[in-house]
Amino acid sequence: MKLCQKCGSLLAPVKNGNKIEFFCHKCNKKQRIDKENIPKFTEKIDRAPQDEIPIIEKQTNILPITNEECPECGNNEARWWTQQTRSSDEPETRFYRCTKCAKTWREYS
């Protein structure tokens, strides 16, 4: 938060190219502000990486086994489960874990 040095009004940050300037609506003037007072305009990226596989906390030995080839060792049996990875309006993602080498991967639909 930065106040106008003349009238004490709250200054509004205005993006000007790569620079941030502050504008007082009362005085109708732009003001130069010291670097350390400039708020960051970087957008927060909160999305999880595409290939992230959530760690399952439930016991894997109760999960159903299906015939799925392990990309790691070629074993033909994998336990599977589904998990919601994104927003709730997206379908659940199916995950597999090899019964032999415990390699875990997700099904790409």
Residues designated catalytic: 89-90
Q: Which two tokens stand for residue 32?
A: 């130069």
Q: Which is nearer to Zn ion, 31 or 85 (CB)?
A: 31
Amino acid identity of residue 56, one-letter, is I
**Residue 44: CB minimum distance to Zn ion, A:** 30
Q: Which is nearer to Zn ion, 37 or 84 (CB)?
A: 37
Q: Which residues bind Zn ion (CB under 5 A)?
A: 4, 6-7, 9, 24, 26-27, 70, 72-73, 75, 98, 100-101, 103
Whether the Cβ atoms of residue 10 and residue 1 lie closer than 8 Å to each other: yes
**Residue 9: CB minimum distance to Zn ion, A:** 5
Q: Which is nearer to Zn ion, 66 or 84 (CB)?
A: 66
Q: Which two tokens stand for residue 75?
A: 């074993």
Q: Which two tokens stand for residue 88?
A: 């709730």
Q: What is the spatial order of strands in the sheet that 65-67 belongs to?
A: 65-67, 77-83, 93-98, 104-106
How long, in residues, is the chain? 109
